[in-house]
Amino acid sequence: MANDLMNRFDVDPFFDRMARHFFSPSRFDNDYADFGNLKTDINETDKDYTLKVDVPGIDKQNIHLAYQNDTLSLNINQEQSSEQKDENGRVIASERSHGVMSRSYTLPGVDRDHISASVNDGVLNVTLPKVTESDEHDGHIEIE
């Protein structure tokens, strides 16, 4: 039914949107073009895991990290608005967008009390140190 209504007015939402972005891309459109792709690099050493996640244009207060049951969860909730005015200061276009993205990474054996994270130049850096087993915690029980 929706397609019939759109066809009645010669409007195809997919091609209309694509043409609008192609012929008049705005900075607003470009900021959200890759929002759905959280490109991630994960490196593992004997001591830790390190993650680098591309988060360009995302404010750190909109990034939420949690580690539970051997899983690191990353949630991003970003809102943005854009307003264009003519030479007299009248608003001719006003756009709003809301994006939500989540990813989970299974990373076992992490010392959750020493996880650190920072955002620098549009890259989220997370270091997850592994739990170390020392000789005194090898499961052996001394008998007195």
- Full pLDDT tens readout for the chain, 144 residues: 444 444 444 445 555 555 555 554 554 444 444 445 789 999 999 999 999 999 988 888 999 999 999 999 999 988 777 888 888 888 778 887 777 888 999 999 999 999 999 999 999 999 999 998 653 455 555 666
Domains of the chain: 1-33 (no CATH), 38-134 (2.60.40.790)
- Angstrom CA distances, 74 to 89, 97, 111, stand at 40, 20, 17
pTM value?
A: 0.60
What is the DSSP code string of 72-116?
EEEEEEEEEEEEEE-TTS-EEEEEEEEEEEEEEEE--SB-GGG-E
What three-state secondary structure class fits 11?
Answer: coil
Classify residue 54 as exposed, middle or buried by CB count within 10 Å of its CB (0-12, 13-18, 19+): middle
Cβ–Cβ under 8 Å, residues 45 and 129: no
Q: Up-side HSE of residue 27: CA atoms within 13 Å toward CB?
A: 7
